[in-house]
Amino acid sequence: MSFSSGRKSSSKRQDRGEDDNATEFQIKRHGPEKVPARCHFDTISAQEVAERIGVHMTTSLPPCDKMFPWLHGYSTSAPPEYEDAISIVRAEPMSRKWIQNSGILKSSLDPHEFMMTWTNDKNYCHPDKKESALILRNLILQQLASISEVLSDEDIDGCVTLCLKYNILPFLATDAFARQTYGARKKWKVCNSFQQGSGISDYMSCSSRQPGAFRRFDIQPAKMVEMSSTIVIYSLLEKTDDNDVKNPEDTSQQLATLIMLALKFVQRNYGSEDNIQHNIRILSYSSLEEIPIELIATPPIPTSALTKPTRQQLVSQFDVVSFNNWDRDLLYREKLEISKMSSATCITDDSSVWFGNSTDYQIYKMLADSFRSNDNIQPHSTYYSMKNSIVDIPSLEYNLSDEATVDSKIFNIPNASKRWALMLRCSENSVPPTLEKLWETLTFLLECNTNKRIELDFPSSGTITLGSLNIEFIKVILNTCFVIYQISKKTNLGTLVHCSDGYTETSFLLVAYTIFLRDLSLDDALIELHLKKERPFFLFHVDLQVLGHLQTLFRNFSPRRPDNAKYFSFNESGKFEPLSITAEMFSRVFLYKVPMESDLTNLKGPLPSRILSHLYLGSLEHAQSPALLKKLGINYIVSVGEVLSWTDGFHEKTTVLSTSSLSVASVDTITNSTNITIAAALEKNGFSDRKDSSIEILQQDGFKILRIMNLGDNGKDTLTHQLEKILAFIDEGYSKKGKVLVHCMVGVSRSATVCIAECMERLHCDILRAYLFVRVRRLNIIIQPNLMFMYELLKWQEFQGGTRNIDWHILCRSISELNNNYI
């Protein structure tokens, strides 16, 4: 059994003569009297790896119709041909004195990212490691026997050692037979009704019907390993005192053998006519200086780089190096993007009351305590602005003499004109402050002549229910607003209300205070915050219920009403008294009925998400509320695969402007030759239009609507061949100073894909950065474009002339990493 470059059935690859100098390796069959020889793997130079990656990244991705549905599920057939595909695998992280998450090549995978894992699985994880090793050894021997192959004891021991080290099994994550036989199937419940003994075809048939079947981003690294004609194993280790590199060959040899086994095992699912061959090579170098800079994603970094030379410095050398590598740790970038997007903004006219995130709180305290000035910090842009994002920040350089510049690029430095003396943290487990604590805080800050800060906690949005509202709790909510207001008016101090992400836990108090401060209805408060204050917020269903009932009470005590002046003046003793609620007021809270036209409880958010100044992403429910859209200034609608009931039937107020097929070349809005060339390339690469789909553009009630019919989120309907028409429609809205709502059913897949494409084009960024930009601004609703949509966008980026600076499986790994943190 040989593993070499190419596929035997592909004459094209054989004619190319790839890897003519490469030595093929074999698992040899031996008689009982022979001892199996150890597997041998040829080495490859760093320069050759760099050249191969360069070829791979400039080779077009295979057409959609060649890759799907194979990418959707576990492998029961041979992979499609992917010319010049290469996988880079790290055998082990950096050793002591070096940061383990450094020394990484571009497009690099770790074993647990493409192999089956068994962490805490009682079938393999035994308290006695010797027992675990014995279980794994017997498993390998059993599987070798099933394919009539043998390995040397040394190679088997090496495979067992690595399996124990990384908590993995000797199977690719895509191995359908191994999943059926050994997979716990706890996380991805592929088939609840699957019974042991069922065939693989039954298993796969059942799995393809599951809701997550078209979003298996987690298995794409293993899919790439299956498709790769070349697999490179490497370890970057530190230099010794004599400037030599420690020999990484042992671990790399073990991993190469393990991957070889996993590839052979997965081929049991292919069928006898599909004999796929792979060339596994081990990176060889004598010094790290031999490795081309373009091959390195994160260079080896000593642990000393984690240290920040000064107290006021926010970013370390390692932070900068990690930031520059977009191949890895998208979760870290998501946190940075959230911290910039939701950074503190003032919601009052006197610069006294701010809402922000925990990063604002931490930075403000750090700079205040270290006496670092923030006087030269410029005001931040709106949360939907590209300037308030990390996606357009180029590679950074670490400069000890100018750390403030790097700090201000990655973080938004608070620039409040009034000192934040009250820090109010909203969190899920917080209990409301007592009235006594609130008055103690107010009294102290009114008399305060020091730089001391008061910190209080307040319950999170989504945790206050109608059932939890007693008269004392309502008093606390109302008087919290009262104390914040009095501090802003009676002192020269400010208040920061903050939570981890800047909106999830603070939104209830944000809206409650706005209703109280400005004497606004719930509806008008939301519009005020969204359009005038441009503050991101997210209200849960229960928040809308509670605020709907409390709004009248808050307004009755608003400082905007002249009759309420007595509440905000000192009493005869020169003090303030808490706002008091009578039993009658309390009962009216529950008797209040929210008007039907103001009932927002069915809308998630409850507003659509503003992605760019002209672009909103929302659900069908948002699109079904034309009155709400008009309040937001939205006058263009893109309906992706859904029908608006208020336009159905084409009544007398409806004007049909055009009806066209989905063939891009026939769309009248596309006139330049570049787009026609793109259209032709799309059709050539598997984006043929569906005969039962159509695009209609119509006008009704002040809205211009582009409606795409018969486009499902089913993993087989394609979207890319429609993008030029859709983006031209969005651009019309942009050029006419309009606002466009893009929606599907929920606003997470089809419409999110369109918004990602618009951001790629409008912001001139790649797919990963556009994905992050949209994802963060969708707030608590997680966008989930299906696998095919994301693959289409990556190919669309190619057709647009953009460089593919991230590989398909690396993009999918990043998305899977984010999803695993929430789903």
Q: What is the CATH number of the domain that holds 650?
A: 3.90.190.10
Helix/strand number for the chain, H first, E second: 27, 23
Mean pLDDT calculated for residue range 707-715:
92
How does the average pLDDT of the chain come out, rounded?
85
Gap between the terminal Cα atoms of the chain: 41
Query: 615-632 burial by CB neighbour count: b if 16+ within 10 A, else e?
Result: bbbbbbbbbbbbebbebb
Mean pLDDT calculated for residue range 764-782:
97
Runs of H (alpha helix) within 276-397: 317-324, 330-341, 358-370
Residues 144 and 259 in one domain: yes
Give per-residue pLDDT as tens, 328-385: 999 999 999 999 999 999 999 999 999 999 999 999 998 887 655 555 566 778 999 9
Runs of H (alpha helix) within 696-749: 720-735
Residues 455 and 489 in one domain: yes
Mean pLDDT calculated for residue range 540-545:
95
Residues 439 and 415 in one domain: yes
Report how far residue 675's alpha carbon sits from residue 665's, in angstroms, rounded to the nearest whole number. 8
Note the pLDDT of residue 24: 41
Handedness of CA 645, 646, 650, 654 (dihedral sign): negative
Amino acid identity, position 90: R
Residues 580 and 633 in one domain: no
Residues 555 and 424 in one domain: yes
Active-site positions read 744
Report how far residue 506's alpha carbon sits from residue 527's, in angstroms, rounded to the nearest whole number. 17
Give per-residue pLDDT as tens, 739-768: 999 999 999 999 999 999 999 999 999 999
Stated as kind and residue range, the H or E segment containing 354 is strand 353-357
Structure tokens at 674: 């570049």
Note the pLDDT of residue 742: 99
Which of 354-363, 459-468, 575-584 shows the lowest per-residue confidence on average (mean pLDDT)? 575-584
Which of 254-268, 324-338, 651-665, 716-730 shows the lowest per-residue confidence on average (mean pLDDT)? 651-665
Decide if 668 is inside a domain.
yes
Decide if 4 is inside a domain.
no
Whether the full predicted model's pTM is greater than 0.95, yes or no, is: no
pLDDT beyond 50 at 546:
yes
The residues facing 115 across adjacent strands are 172
Note the pLDDT of residue 184: 57
Note the pLDDT of residue 64: 94
Residues belonging to the chain = 823
Give per-residue pLDDT as tens, 478-500: 999 999 999 999 999 999 999 99
Residues 289 and 338 in one domain: no
Note the pLDDT of residue 245: 43
pLDDT beyond 80 at 655:
no
Mean pLDDT calculated for residue range 638-665:
68
Residues 555 and 646 in one domain: no
pLDDT beyond 60 at 664:
no
CB-based contacts of 315: which residues, under 8 Å, 6+ apart?
A: 308, 398, 403, 406, 407, 410, 411
Give per-residue pLDDT as tens, 150-190: 999 999 999 999 999 999 999 999 999 998 888 754 333 33
Tally of domains within the chain = 3
pLDDT beyond 80 at 194:
no
| Whether the Cβ atoms of residue 335 and residue 501 lie closer than 8 Å to each other | no
- Range picked from 385-389, 609-613, 648-652 for highest mean pLDDT: 609-613
Report how far residue 446's alpha carbon sits from residue 439's, in angstroms, rounded to the nearest whole number. 10
Note the pLDDT of residue 79: 94
pLDDT beyond 60 at 209:
no
Which of 374-388, 424-438, 596-610, 674-688 shows the lowest per-residue confidence on average (mean pLDDT)? 674-688
Omega before residue 69 within 30° of 0, cis: yes
Residues 165 and 294 in one domain: yes
Decide if 14 is inside a domain.
no
Structural domain ending residue among the three candidates 598, 631, 655: 598
Decide if 329 is inside a domain.
no
Residue with tokens 């055009």: 658
CA-based max dimension of the chain: 106
Decide if 489 is inside a domain.
yes
Decide if 513 is inside a domain.
yes
Residues 614 and 594 in one domain: no
Residues 648 and 558 in one domain: no
The DSSP code for 692 is T
Structural domain ending residue among the three candidates 541, 564, 598: 598
Note the pLDDT of residue 23: 39
Residues 52 and 102 in one domain: yes
Structural domain ending residue among the three candidates 574, 598, 622: 598
Decide if 314 is inside a domain.
no
Q: Could you tell me what percentage of the chain is helix, strand and coil, using 3-state DSSP and rounding each to the nearest 5?
A: 45, 15, 45
**E strand residue ranges, 86-127:** 86-90, 104-105, 108-109, 115-117
Residues 79 and 206 in one domain: yes
Please report, to the nearest 10 degrees, the dihedral formed by the alpha carbons of residues 240, 243, 249, 250 taken in order.
-10
In degrees rounded to 5, what are phi and psi of residue 757? -60, -40
Give per-residue pLDDT as tens, 102-141: 999 999 999 999 999 986 565 666 677 888 899 999 999 9
Decide if 393 is inside a domain.
yes
pLDDT confidence band for 241 (50 / 70 / 90): very low
Note the pLDDT of residue 335: 97
Supply the range of the domain harboring residue 467.
334-598
